[in-house]
């Protein structure tokens, strides 16, 4: 039985006081939830205060990115060790916004994934096709490439520690959600490919999240699919009420 994960990607939203207000509300509304991982991913600036605020709560902390080098002259970057030190357990890697606007490639996804694992963080590795790739019937080919290259050369042990998020780019922040059947088809494909890469046992335990306009009113039907093990939530994670409803799908 795979433990579900509901993760909120706050992107570049929330000041410190707004971050604290959101997690204080989530702590109250989610305190009785114990059968799933609830992860909040604030901007780097808010990680330390949120880490303090969620100590002894059911909430876990994630970051939105990291650099693969341990330390060095890399102005503006943050290392895996720093994230672990501040209290992160998870880190999002290869989000489509980073691929689209900040030059993220499968190769840098691979470097970041290995760095996260080496520091004991759980990487949430994002894959997903654009609208034009879907319309050209290339969705599976794109996702297979992102997995093969982004997850290259992990040990079987490491492969058991990662989480994959399927985020069709056309569904992110657009209000368009993949239908549960569309999402399930891709999730099943991801599990099959993962099995070919890292074996049936790693694939059976792999948690695959769906992301793309997940809301309180569509989460239940998505989570009812056999290969959907959780959600990566953007917009709806910024409101405590909505995120709590998604958590309690």
Decide: is 8 part of the binding site for ligand PEP (CB under 6 A): no
From 67, 95, 97, 129, the catalytic residue: 95
Stretch in the footprint of ligand PEP (CB under 6 A) among 61-69, 99-107, 154-162, 210-218: 210-218
Closer CB to ligand PEP, 160 or 182, in the complex:
182
Question: Which positions ≥6 away from 105 have C-beta within 8 Å?
Answer: 99
Angstrom distances, CA of residue 175 to CA of 92, 169, 213, 243: 21, 12, 5, 16
Q: How far is the CB of 155 from ligand PEP (least distance, A)?
A: 28
Listed ranges 13-21, 36-44, 148-156, 228-236: which one lies at the site for ligand PEP (CB under 6 A): 228-236
- Please report the DSSP string for 109-165 in residue order: HHHHHHHHHHTT-EEEEEE---HHHHHTT-HHHHHHHHHHHHTTT--HHHHTT-EEE
Residue 211 found at the interface with ligand PEP (CB under 6 A): yes
Residue closer to ligand PEP by CB (options 17, 174) is 174
Residues across the chain: 249
How far is the first Cα of the chain from the last one, in angstroms, to the nearest whole number? 17
Are 23 and 50 in contact by the 8 Å Cβ rule? The answer is yes
Using CB under 6 A as the binding rule, whether residue 234 contacts ligand PEP is answered as yes
Pairing mode, strands 37-41 and 122-127: unpaired
Contact set for ligand PEP, span 45-84 (CB under 6 A): none
Say whether residue 9 binds ligand PEP (CB under 6 A).
yes
Known active-site residue 133: no
- What the block records as the tokens of 150 is 């982004």
| b/e 66-93 (16+ beta carbons within 10 angstroms → b) | bbbeeeeeeeeebbbbbbbebebebbbb
In the complex, residue closest to ligand PEP by CB: 234
- Examine residue 214 and tell whether it contacts ligand PEP (CB under 6 A): yes
CB of 229 to ligand PEP, least distance (A): 15
CB 42 within 8 A of CB 78: no
Question: Which of 47, 54, 233, 247 is the binder for ligand PEP (CB under 6 A)?
Answer: 233
CA geometry: angle 183, 178, 131, nearest 5 deg: 105
Q: Is 167 an active-site residue?
A: yes
Contact flag: residue 213 with ligand PEP (CB under 6 A): yes
Residues 152-191 that bind ligand PEP (CB under 6 A): 167, 172-173
Could you say whether residue 212 binds ligand PEP (CB under 6 A)?
Answer: yes
How many residues sit close enough to ligand PEP to count as binding (CB under 6 A)? 13
Piece of 145-153, 196-204, 205-213, 218-226 that binds ligand PEP (CB under 6 A) = 205-213
Residue found by looking up tokens 């991801």 in the block: 190
Residues annotated as part of the active site: 95, 167
Residues that bind ligand PEP (CB under 6 A): 9, 167, 172-173, 211-214, 232-236
């Amino acid at each position: 039985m795979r433990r579900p994960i509901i993760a909120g990607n706050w992107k570049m939203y929330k000041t410190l006081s707004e971050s604290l207000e959101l997690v204080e509300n989530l702590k109250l509304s989610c305190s009785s939830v114990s059968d799933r991982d609830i992860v909040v991913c604030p901007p780097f600036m808010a990680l330390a205060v949120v880490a303090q605020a969620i100590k002894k709560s059911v909430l876990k902390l994630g970051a939105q990115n990291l650099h693969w080098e341990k330390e060095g002259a890399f102005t503006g970057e943050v290392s895996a060790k720093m994230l672990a030190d501040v209290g992160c357990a998870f880190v999002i890697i290869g989000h489509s916004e980073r691929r689209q606007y900040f030059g993220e490639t499968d190769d840098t996804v691979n470097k970041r994934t290995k760095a996260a694992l080496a520091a004991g963080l759980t990487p949430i590795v994002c894959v997903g096709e654009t609208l034009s790739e879907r319309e050209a019937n290339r969705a599976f080919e794109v996702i297979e490439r992102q997995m093969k290259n982004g997850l290259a050369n992990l040990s079987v042990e490491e492969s058991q520690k990662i989480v994959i998020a399927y985020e069709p780019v056309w569904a992110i922040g657009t209000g368009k959600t993949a239908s549960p059947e569309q999402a399930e088809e891709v999730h099943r494909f991801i599990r099959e490919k993962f099995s070919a890469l890292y074996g049936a046992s790693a694939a059976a335990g792999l948690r695959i999240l769906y992301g793309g306009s997940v809301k309180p009113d569509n989460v239940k039907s998505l989570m009812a699919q056999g290969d959907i093990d959780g959600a990566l939530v953007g917009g709806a994670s910024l409101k405590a009420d909505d995120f709590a409803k998604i958590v309690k799908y």
